[in-house]
C-alpha cells in the first residue's frame, strides 16, 4: 500500500494474519475473520494458532 510503513521481521516478533471473508447478499452484512498467529524465529516461522479451522467456513473447489 503506498505510504504504508515497512517493517522487517526479526526473531522474537509475532504477528497475525487476518483475512476477511465477506459473505455477500446478507442484509446488514456478514463475514468472518480467520486469524493465524505467527512467531518469527531464527529458522522457520512457528504457527501458534492452536484451534483448527471450521471446515464449513473454508470454501473448497
pLDDT of residue 58: 63
Number of domains, the chain: 1
C-alpha cell read off for 50: 492452536
Question: Is residue 25 a part of any domain in this protein?
Answer: yes
Q: Give the confidence band of 60 by pLDDT, cuts at 50, 70, 90.
A: low
| pLDDT of amino acid 59 | 61
Q: Is residue 31 part of a domain?
A: yes
Question: What pLDDT, on the 0 to 100 scale, is given for residue 22?
Answer: 81
For residue 51, being part of any structural domain is answered with: yes
- By CB neighbour count within 10 A (0-12 exposed, 13-18 middle, 19+ buried), where does 22 fall? exposed
- 4 in any annotated domain: no
pLDDT in tens, 40-50: 999 999 999 87
Instruction: Give the structural domain span for 39.
Output: 14-57
Amino acid at each position: 500500500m503506498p505510504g504504508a510503513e515497512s517493517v522487517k521481521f526479526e526473531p522474537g516478533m509475532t504477528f497475525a494474519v487476518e483475512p476477511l471473508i465477506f459473505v455477500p447478499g446478507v442484509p446488514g452484512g456478514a463475514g468472518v475473520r480467520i486469524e493465524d498467529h505467527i512467531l518469527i524465529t531464527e529458522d522457520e516461522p512457528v504457527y501458534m494458532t492452536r484451534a483448527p479451522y471450521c471446515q464449513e467456513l473454508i470454501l473448497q473447489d
